[in-house]
Amino acid sequence: MKCEKCGADVDLPFRCNYCEHLFCPEHRLPEMHECSETWRVKAVRSARVAMAPVQPSETRSMLLPPRRQQVRFGRTELPHLIVGTALVTAAGVSFYVTSPAVAGTLGILVSSVIFALGFILHELAHKYVAQGYGLWAEFRVNLMGVMLTALSILSPIKFIAPGAVMIAGYADKARLGRTALAGPLVNVIITISLLLVIPFLRNTWLYAALVAGAAVNAFLAVFNLIPFAVFDGQKVYSWDRRYWAMLLLVSLALTVYTNFVLRPF
């Protein structure tokens, strides 16, 4: 048999547990043969990190990781982020082009940027909290999500989910709940921030664009808090129903206010 890295003849080759290819002793480790399944290697190694159990007092008082850290991006992850952000931005443009409330090129552009930020900052919030707990967390697009988002650019029906942050490693309900909560919480923060600015821009072209951006972010928070299947709400609900209920009520109130009182569309 030949090593698939260097081509050397090997009587008893080693099979990589991740990519399942055959290698000589020198190239048997994933890092020595540039394993195509590097993300799985990182995930397994992250799972070995010892983690102390969460105390009840900590669960009640903290929503974010207990230690500071920088968000770390993998080389494989960055192209996925670029593709995902580009698709969401394009879908946002196609949505606002047909909206009579958002007029002009600049208005459509601003609304689309806020639309894309709502998606990407939501995912990065998951990543930040997960990495704070020592978990492996990277954004990945998936084929089905990319296809549906691409179709949404050309269709009046919008399904915008080109990918998500993949998380691996040991985590209990509290850590999973906090990680899930971070995404909708960011959308709520974006909505409230825009609502604080909007009154000062009532007579400008920015007003409709910012109202539309606030409405979309409020809806994203509500949608992701559905306590079912793979939605963030399911993990938050399983962890602490009070936090889930409080954030859902705030998100619903913001959604009603931005969509039916301010009427962005």
pLDDT digits (tens, 9 = 90+) for 143-194: 999 999 999 888 888 888 899 999 888 888 999 999 999 999 999 999 999 9
Q: How far apart are CA 134 and CA 177, in angstroms?
A: 15
In whole angstroms, how far apart are CA 78 and each of 81, 121, 140, 226, 261? 5, 14, 9, 29, 39
Q: How far apart are CA 236 and CA 104, in angstroms?
A: 40
Cβ-contact 84, 163 below 8 angstroms = yes
123 within domain boundaries: yes
Count Cβ atoms within 10 A of the Cβ of residue 161 and give its class: 0-12 exposed, 13-18 middle, 19 or more buried: middle
Query: For position 69, what pLDDT does the model report?
Result: 58
78 within domain boundaries: yes
225 within domain boundaries: yes
Query: For position 62, what pLDDT does the model report?
Result: 44
* DSSP tag of 31: G
Strands (E), 99-195: 136-141, 163-168
186 within domain boundaries: yes
- Least trusted range by pLDDT, from 46-55, 126-135, 181-190, 223-232: 46-55
76 within domain boundaries: yes
1 within domain boundaries: no
22 within domain boundaries: no
Cβ-contact 72, 179 below 8 angstroms = no
Q: How far apart are CA 213 and CA 191, in angstroms?
A: 8
Contacts 24+ apart (CB under 8 A), 143-151: 146/83, 146/87, 149/87, 149/88, 149/91, 150/87
The separation between CA 233 and the C-alpha centre of its own chain, rounded to angstroms, equals 14
Query: For position 45, what pLDDT does the model report?
Result: 56
Cβ-contact 159, 149 below 8 angstroms = yes
Number of domains in the chain: 1
* DSSP tag of 20: -
| Residue 53, both tokens | 């159990």
Q: How far apart are CA 58 and CA 97, in angstroms?
A: 46
60 within domain boundaries: no
Query: For position 68, what pLDDT does the model report?
Result: 53
Q: Tell whether the model's pLDDT for residue 216 goes beyond 70.
A: yes
Q: What is the mean pLDDT of residues 49-66?
A: 46
| Phi, psi angle pair for 212, to nearest 5° | -65, -40
Residue 145's domain spans which residues?
A: 68-261
